[in-house]
C-alpha cells in the first residue's frame, strides 16, 4: 500500500506552466508528489496509462520549467506518458474526466489545448513530427525550441530511426528526449556519464570550444588537420564514457544518461542545452510506475489498466464475473493448436500480454517472437516464415495493423502466402478513443486480392476460425472485438468452417438481417423483438466479409428487405461488399439499409454507450429494421 502524506496544495496554484517558473526545486519536488497522487486517484476510477505517466512527472515539470511552452513545442510520443503534462497545462480541474465521454482525452490532442503540439496515439512519430515543426520554424525565422519526448519502447519502431537519420542529416535544431525506463545501465557508468554530459554542455564550455576551434583554424597550413584530430579525440572521449555511440553516429550531440527523477539534474541539463545548436539527444533514465508500489512492481500490468483499488492495487470487481475475453480465448486456443502443430509460429508487436500470447511464449519460446513496435517488420518476417512451410499467426490490434498495410499487400497477399492475421480490438474499443478504435480493418483488408476475412459471432466460433485459418494455403484475417466474449459453451473438438459459408441462425420471410461478428447477437435480440410485433425475420451470421456466400442471392431475392449490420465504417465495409455482390449478380428492386459507423473518427467513451449512440446495439438495430417498413 502506498501512503500519501498531507502536503500544502501547491498544485492548486498551477494553472499554466508559467506558474512553475518562480518555484524552488524543493517546491517542485513537493509538486511532483501531488501530481502523482492526482494521477493515481483519477486513473483508479477511470482506468488509463498509469505506469508510463507516473514515470515522467519530474521530466514533465523540468521541461515546462525550463522551456517556454506553448511557444516552445513539446511532442509526446504515443502520449501514454502525458498525464502530468495535461495537469499542469490548464487541465487540472478537468483531469477527473480523463477518458470519459466528452471528457479530456487520454492522449495529446491539438483541439484540446494549445500545449498539445501534435495528436498522438500510435508510437514512433515524435521525431519525424518534431523535425517537421523545427524545419517550419527555421523557414519562418522563429527561434522557438522543439522537444520530442520518445519512450524506449517507441524507439524500436523503424520510423523513429528514419526521423533520427533525417534530423542528423539536416542539422536542424531539435531536442530528442529518450525516456528510458527499461535499459539497465550500471550506477557507476551512469553517474560518471551524467557528470560528464553536464560539464560538456555548460555554456562556458561550449563557448570555449568555439573559441578554440576558431584559433586552431587560424593556424596556417596545419590548422585543419589539428582540428580534425581534436574532434576525433573529443568524440572518442564522449562515446567511450557514455552509451551514446549510436546517436553520435546519427550526428546527434548525445547527453546523458540523466536520472529522470532528479529535478535539479534535469533542470540544470535542460538549461545547459537550451542554447545549443543542431540535433541533440538527451538520455533520461526513469522508473515506470514511480511513486506507486504496485505499479513499480508490475509496470506491464499498470501500463494500461482499468479501474482499481488504490490501497491494494487490485482491479475493481465486477459482479457477476464476466466470461473470458476474446483475447484470452485466442491465447488459450493458440497454446492448444501449438501443441498439435509444430509449424505454428506466433508473432506480436510489443504486446504479448495485450494479444494473449504470454502463455504461448512460455510454452513454445522457439516459435514465438515479439518484434517490438515494428508492425511492418512483423508482417514481412511472417511472410518469410511462411515461405519455409511454417504457419505464422500475427497477433496485432486492428488500429496498429494499419501501419503495415503495404507489407500485407506486397509481401503477403501478392505472393499469396499462408499468413494468419489475428486482429484484436476490431471495432469500437472505448476510452482510448479515435487513435485506437479498430473500425477500418474490414474496409482496408477486403480490398486485397487473395485475402480471406472472417469475424466470429462468439468465442466458440473464434476457436474454429483460428483452426480453419491455419489450414489455408493463402492469407487469412480474423477480426474480433475487445473485452468479454459472449459466454457460450465451447466445443471439445475443432471443426473447419467452409470458406465463405454463412450460417442461417433464424428463418424468416419478412426481413433479412445480414450481420457480421459482434453484430450477430444484438441482431438476434432485435429479431426476437420484431417477431413479437408480428414480423418474420431471417438472421444470418455471415461469418465472412470476403468471400461472400453465393446463396445470398436467393435469400435477397426471396425476402426483398435487407438490413446489414457491422461494427466498421460503412465506407467500403461489409455493407459495401453486400451492395457490390447484389449489383454484380443483377439483383434489383430491394429495400436495403446499412448500419455501421459513420464517415468520421469516433470519440472516446464507454464502448457500449458508443454502440448505442451509433445505432449498433439491439435497440438501434430494431429502429433500423422498422425504418425498412415505413
pLDDT band, very low/low/confident/very high, at 208 (cuts 50, 70, 90): very low
Is the same domain home to 42 and 172?
Answer: yes
Of 164-168, 207-211, 417-421, which has the strongest mean pLDDT?
417-421
Residue 215 resides in a domain: no
Query: Does the pLDDT at position 578 exceed 70?
Result: yes
Is the same domain home to 411 and 473?
Answer: yes
Of 23-27, 159-163, 463-467, which has the strongest mean pLDDT?
463-467
Query: Does the pLDDT at position 245 exceed 80?
Result: no
- CB distance 417 to 89 below 8 Å: no
Is the same domain home to 250 and 359?
Answer: no
- CB distance 61 to 32 below 8 Å: yes
Is the same domain home to 549 and 475?
Answer: no
Q: Give me the pLDDT at residue 188, please.
A: 32
Residue 486 resides in a domain: no
- List 109, 137, 403, 457, catalytic entry: 403
CA dihedral 366, 467, 331, 457 (to 10 degrees): 160
Taking the model in full, what pTM does it have? Answer: 0.82
Q: Give me the pLDDT at residue 399, please.
A: 93
288 catalytically annotated: yes
Is the same domain home to 426 and 293?
Answer: no
* pLDDT tens per residue across span 487-508: 999 999 999 999 999 999 999 9
Q: Give me the pLDDT at residue 251, please.
A: 86
Domain boundary among 479, 514, 535: 479
Range of the domain at 122: 10-185+243-297
Q: Give me the pLDDT at residue 185, please.
A: 30
Cis peptide bond upstream of 629, omega within 30:
no
Residue linked to cell 597550413: 221
- List 375, 431, 459, 461, catalytic entry: 375
Residue 212 resides in a domain: no
- How many residues are recorded in the chain? 630
Query: Does the pLDDT at position 347 exceed 90?
Result: yes
Q: Give me the pLDDT at residue 184, please.
A: 31
Is the same domain home to 470 and 512?
Answer: no
- CB distance 532 to 488 below 8 Å: no
Among candidate residues 446, 440, 358, the one with its CA nearest the CA of residue 401: 440
Q: Give me the pLDDT at residue 213, please.
A: 56
When pLDDT is averaged across residues 531-535 and rounded to a whole number, the result is 91
- CB distance 122 to 400 below 8 Å: yes
Is the same domain home to 258 and 133?
Answer: yes
403 catalytically annotated: yes
Is the same domain home to 586 and 471?
Answer: no
When pLDDT is averaged across residues 227-256 and rounded to a whole number, the result is 64
Residue 487 resides in a domain: no
Q: Give me the pLDDT at residue 190, please.
A: 40
Q: Give me the pLDDT at residue 246, please.
A: 76
Q: Give how many domains the chain has, as a whole number.
A: 3
When pLDDT is averaged across residues 214-240 and rounded to a whole number, the result is 54
Of 268-272, 390-394, 562-566, which gets the smallest average pLDDT? 268-272
- List 109, 253, 262, 288, catalytic entry: 288
Among candidate residues 36, 120, 49, 34, the one with its CA nearest the CA of residue 81: 49
CATH of the domain at 611: 3.40.50.920
Residue 234 resides in a domain: no
When pLDDT is averaged across residues 104-128 and rounded to a whole number, the result is 88
Residue 492 resides in a domain: no
pLDDT band, very low/low/confident/very high, at 250 (cuts 50, 70, 90): confident
- Characterise 494 by phi-psi region: left (phi > 0), alpha (psi -120 to 50), beta (else): beta
Cis peptide bond upstream of 70, omega within 30:
yes
Residue 84 resides in a domain: yes
375 catalytically annotated: yes
**Share of residues in the chain with pLDDT > 70 (%):** 88
Residues 6+ apart with CB under 8 A from 586: none
Residue 508 resides in a domain: yes
CATH of the domain at 404: 3.40.50.970
Is the same domain home to 278 and 410?
Answer: no
* pLDDT tens per residue across span 263-274: 999 999 999 999
Cα angle vertex 166, ends 154, 238, to 5°?
75
Is the same domain home to 559 and 617?
Answer: yes
Query: Does the pLDDT at position 7 exceed 90?
Result: no
Is the same domain home to 566 and 530?
Answer: yes
Is the same domain home to 43 and 104?
Answer: yes
Provide φ and ψ at 364, rounded to 5°: -135, 65
Amino acid at each position: 500500500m502506498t501512503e500519501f502524506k498531507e502536503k500544502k496544495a501547491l498544485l492548486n496554484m498551477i494553472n499554466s506552466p508559467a506558474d512553475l517558473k518562480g518555484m524552488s526545486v524543493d517546491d517542485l519536488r513537493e509538486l511532483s508528489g501531488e501530481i502523482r497522487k492526482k494521477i493515481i486517484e483519477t486513473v483508479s476510477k477511470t482506468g488509463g496509462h498509469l505506469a508510463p505517466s507516473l514515470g515522467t512527472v519530474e521530466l514533465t515539470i523540468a521541461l515546462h520549467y525550463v522551456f517556454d511552452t506553448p511557444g516552445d513545442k513539446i511532442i509526446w510520443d504515443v502520449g501514454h506518458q502525458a498525464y502530468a503534462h495535461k495537469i499542469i497545462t490548464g487541465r487540472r480541474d478537468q483531469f477527473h474526466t480523463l477518458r470519459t465521454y466528452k471528457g479530456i482525452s487520454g492522449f495529446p490532442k491539438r483541439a484540446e489545448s494549445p500545449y498539445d503540439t501534435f495528436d498522438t496515439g500510435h508510437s514512433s512519430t515524435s521525431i519525424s513530427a518534431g523535425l517537421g515543426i523545427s524545419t517550419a520554424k527555421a523557414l519562418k525565422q522563429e527561434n522557438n525550441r522543439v522537444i520530442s519526448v520518445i519512450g524506449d519502447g517507441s524507439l524500436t519502431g523503424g520510423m523513429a530511426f528514419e526521423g533520427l537519420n533525417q534530423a542528423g542529416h539536416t542539422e536542424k535544431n531539435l531536442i530528442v528526449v529518450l525516456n528510458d525506463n527499461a535499459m539497465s545501465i550500471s550506477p557507476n557508468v551512469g553517474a560518471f556519464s551524467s557528470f560528464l554530459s553536464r560539464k560538456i554542455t555548460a555554456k562556458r564550455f561550449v563557448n570555449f570550444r568555439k573559441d578554440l576551434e576558431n584559433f586552431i583554424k587560424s593556424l596556417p597550413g596545419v590548422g585543419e588537420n589539428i582540428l580534425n584530430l581534436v574532434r576525433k579525440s573529443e568524440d572518442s572521449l564522449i562515446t567511450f564514457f557514455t552509451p551514446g555511440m549510436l546517436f553520435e553516429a546519427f550526428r546527434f550531440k548525445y547527453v546523458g544518461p540523466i536520472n529522470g527523477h532528479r529535478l535539479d539534474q534535469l533542470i540544470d541539463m535542460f538549461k545547459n542545452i537550451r542554447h545549443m545548436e543542431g540535433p541533440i539527444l538527451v538520455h533520461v533514465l526513469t522508473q515506470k510506475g514511480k511513486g506507486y508500489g504496485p505499479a513499480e512492481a508490475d509496470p506491464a500490468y499498470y501500463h494500461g489498466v482499468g479501474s482499481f483499488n488504490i490501497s491494494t492495487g487490485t482491479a475493481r470487481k465486477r459482479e457477476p464475473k464476466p466470461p473470458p475475453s476474446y483475447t484470452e480465448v485466442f491465447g488459450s486456443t493458440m497454446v492448444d493448436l501449438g501443441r498439435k502443430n509444430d509449424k505454428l509460429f506466433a508473432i506480436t508487436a510489443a504486446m504479448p500480454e495485450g494479444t494473449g500470447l504470454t502463455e504461448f511464449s512460455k510454452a513454445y519460446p522457439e516459435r514465438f517472437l515479439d518484434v517490438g513496435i515494428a508492425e511492418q517488420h512483423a508482417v514481412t518476417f511472417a511472410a518469410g516464415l511462411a515461405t519455409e512451410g511454417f504457419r505464422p499467426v500475427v497477433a496485432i490490434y486492428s488500429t496498429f495493423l494499419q501501419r503495415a498495410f503495404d507489407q500485407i499487400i506486397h509481401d503477403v497477399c501478392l505472393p499469396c502466402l499462408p499468413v494468419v492475421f489475428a486482429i484484436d480490438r476490431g471495432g469500437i474499443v472505448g476510452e482510448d478513443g479515435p487513435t485506437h478504435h479498430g473500425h477500418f480493418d474490414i474496409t482496408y483488408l477486403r480490398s486485397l486480392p487473395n485475402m480471406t476475412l472472417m469475424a466470429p459471432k462468439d468465442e466458440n466460433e473464434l476457436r474454429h476460425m483460428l483452426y480453419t485459418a491455419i489450414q489455408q494455403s493463402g492469407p487469412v484475417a480474423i477480426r474480433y472485438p475487445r473485452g468479454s466474449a459472449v459466454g457460450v459453451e465451447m466445443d471439445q473438438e475443432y471443426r473447419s468452417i467452409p470458406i465463405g459459408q454463412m450460417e442461417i441462425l433464424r428463418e424468416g420471410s419478412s426481413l433479412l438481417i445480414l450481420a457480421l461478428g459482434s453484430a450477430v447477437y444484438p441482431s438476434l435480440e432485435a429479431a426476437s423483438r420484431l417477431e413479437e410485433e408480428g414480423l418474420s425475420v431471417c438472421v444470418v451470421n455471415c461469418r465472412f466479409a470476403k468471400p461472400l456466400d453465393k446463396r445470398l442471392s436467393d435469400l435477397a431475392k426471396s425476402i426483398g428487405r435487407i438490413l446489414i449490420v457491422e461494427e466498421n465504417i460503412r465506407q467500403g465495409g461489409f455493407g459495401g461488399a453486400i451492395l457490390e455482390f447484389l449489383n454484380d449478380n443483377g439483383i434489383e428492386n430491394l429495400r436495403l439499409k446499412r448500419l455501421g459507423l459513420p464517415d468520421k473518427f469516433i470519440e472516446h467513451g464507454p464502448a457500449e454507450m458508443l454502440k448505442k449512440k451509433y445505432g449498433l446495439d439491439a435497440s438501434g438495430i430494431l429502429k433500423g429494421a422498422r425504418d425498412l417498413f415505413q
